[in-house]
Chain A
Amino acid sequence: MSPPPALIETEGLTRILPEVVPVTLVEDVTLAIGEREFVAITGPSGSGKSSLLYLLGLLDRPTRGRLRLAGIDTDPMDEAARAARRLAMLGFVFQFHFLLPEFSARENVEIPMRKLGRLSRPAIRDRAGELLESLGLAGHVDKRPDQLSGGQRQRVAVARALANDPPLLLADEPTGSLDSQSSEQVFAILADLVHGRGKTVVAVTHDLELAARMGRRIHLVDGRVVSDERISAAGPPG
């Protein structure tokens, strides 16, 4: 089997905050992530996992180094081009759900689709309903975030990230604030995205047990990649 084409390619990716004493968040990260990969980013707290994810998600700009998404160099892109790419190509799930508080679950999922404008209003409505249903939220589509539990919110956030059917989903400790049952549920959803729907998922986690069940584990310390190993028998053990 030939290696899958690279969806993400980085070369010496570095992010330094220009404070009085410059803070290095990410240092010299070179890696390639292909399609249909299920990647865990692990590391101690403060090791730069979130910072790396923000760079990959075009939410932040690197101080040095290159980032190619689907073969396209992102460096020359202006703010509008990066926004357009985030909208169409990337789904982001934050540690905190970050739903828009005044909108129902359905509306939160509809908004990126309406912004993209590829589907008609009824089609958008249907797709939002289907996505939420497929994530086990059938009875909760019209509730606002404050009427949902933590696990439900996080699943709405996943549905929103998937709204425009992006090839790449980035998740920052998506199960970090959830109880074990909800966290198992969310993990199962992510695994299904890779194995069932052919997406690439890059998820930050400090749960080593979860990381072991993913296809690849990239370990960061002080912003540097210290190990990058593929886990052969990728699949839920037991």
Chain B
Amino acid sequence: MRLILDIAVTHIVGRGRQTLVAILGVAVGVGFSVAMAALMQGGQDDLIAKLVDTMPHVQITDDRRTPPVQPAELAFDAAAIAGLRPREDRRGIINPTAAFAWLKEWVPGRVAASLTTQGVVRYLGRDVGATVVGIEPKAERGVSSLVEDFVDGSFEALDVGGNNVVIGDRMAGRLGAGVGDTVTLVSSSGLSRGFKIVGLYHTGITARDEHEAYILLKSAQILDARINVVNEIRIRLDDPAAAPAVARRAEARLGYKSMSWQEANEQILEALVVRNVIMYTVVAAIMLVAGFGIFNIISTITHEKARDIAIMKSLGFSRGDMQRLFVLEGLAIGLAGSLLGWLLGFALVYALASVHFELNAGGRELTRLPVAWEPLHYAIAAGFALASAAVAGYLPARKAARQPPVDIIRGAT
């Protein structure tokens, strides 16, 4: 085996330029596969991270999934009532304190209750429709990603004296109001009250930046004339993947619609599955093309060695020796190419990751190309390259080694 290895090394080193081309061929294939996979995976990870980050992992609202059973259905077997919609219930979540306490007991994460209503924010005669969310600042910190998006002030500022509100920067722009100004909030029940702006945030999502206002839960309950009412409980989990299970358990016990982020984004996640299929197809196609390239280069080299195979066999080498020799040569080229390809792939991914974009379309800003640093991509690309290289050495060598050496020797003389 030592001899075979020495012969392989001499062959590879002796063919300097050819070897270099083969190694570069492998490297390019591996490098681009890695970069492509990093880009595709990165895009997906980024999208999911944004989904998971910007919304509660589980959202319990005062809705019910099925309308309440009607007395007629209880009284008559044949009665069937379709198309019923649950009546809007101004009472919100029944007994919210108990529900909240029960959730806090077992949920692996943080829980916050709120009252969400529709209203209007008014300043100097200008009106902007808004979703007014009543929150408890301390609890809200734990469930909302909004804390990271403040450009001025914070949730905590809501607690400091009087009636305070935080709004998005776009709403502030539309109203022409800034921090320190007092705006009027009008609730759907017609009550209104003045609130001082103590914070501005910018999420990048237009709907939120323009049409949301946060006030204290107590203020919201007073404004909407629903004392002690809570109509939404939001949960942020340590492990976002556990959301469906938590949602199921909460719904089974409380009876209220509990929606995991996966359920809320079902369509997006389904689209991601399609995207995944496309991604794997594209990466597989690149690898396949690279694999063919690798196969082509190495099998050409092996073909050219048919005469040497005949010579070595005539000297007394076995068929197996010859196959091992060329598989070894293929693997060596594949290995060198893979290592170089890793460097190339890493450099490409690095370059892609440092590209900056200034994008301001669709209300979302993308400042950096998301890429995934995934060792698995490197392993798969190298594995594929090594396999093609080994096969590329093996197949022609097997053919040449099976042929009786005289066939080649006769032809060569």
Contact = CB atoms under 8 A, between A and B. Distances in A.
Interface of A: 50, 54, 57, 59-61, 79-80, 83-88, 92, 94-96, 98-103, 107, 111-112, 114-116, 160, 172
Residue among A103, A115, A172 with the highest chain B CB neighbour number at 10 A: A115
Contacts of B410: 50, 54
A102 B14 contact: yes
Contacts of A83: 313, 316-318
Contact of A94 (B313, B404, B409): B409
Interface string B396-413: 000000001110011011
Interface residues of B, number: 24
Contact of B314 (A79, A92, A107, A115): A92
Contacts of B319: 79
Given A95-B413, A96-B412, A115-B3, A59 B406 contact: yes
Interface of B: 3, 7, 10-11, 14-15, 307-308, 311-319, 404-406, 409-410, 412-413
A87 B316 contact: yes
A98 B14 CA distance: 17
Contact of A111 (B3, B11, B318, B406): B3
B318 A86 contact: no
B317 A115 contact: yes
Contact of B315 (A54, A102, A115, A172): A115
Nearest to A82: B316
A98 B10 contact: no
Nearest to B15: A102
Contacts of A102: 10-11, 14-15
A60 B314 CA distance: 10
Given A59-B409, A80-B318, A83-B317, 7 more contacts: A54-B410, A60-B404, A86-B316, A87-B317, A96-B413, A98-B409, A100-B312
Contact of A103 (B10, B317, B318): B10
Given A96-B413, A102-B10, A115-B3, A87 B315 contact: yes
A134 B412 CA distance: 29
Identify the 8 closest CB pairs spanning chains A and B, nearest first: A87-B316, A102-B14, A86-B316, A60-B406, A114-B3, A59-B406, A54-B406, A98-B311
Contacts of B14: 101-103
Contacts of B405: 59
Contacts of A100: 308, 311-312
B3 A86 contact: no
Contacts of B312: 100, 111
A86 B404 CA distance: 14
B355 to A, nearest CB: 45
5 contacts: A54-B410, A60-B406, A83-B318, A100-B311, A116-B316
Contacts of A98: 307, 311, 314, 409, 412
A100 B322 CA distance: 14
Contacts of B308: 100-101
A79 B316 contact: no
Given A111-B7, A115-B3, A59 B315 contact: no
B316 to A, nearest CB: 3
Nearest to A61: B404
Contacts of B11: 102
Nearest to A163: B315
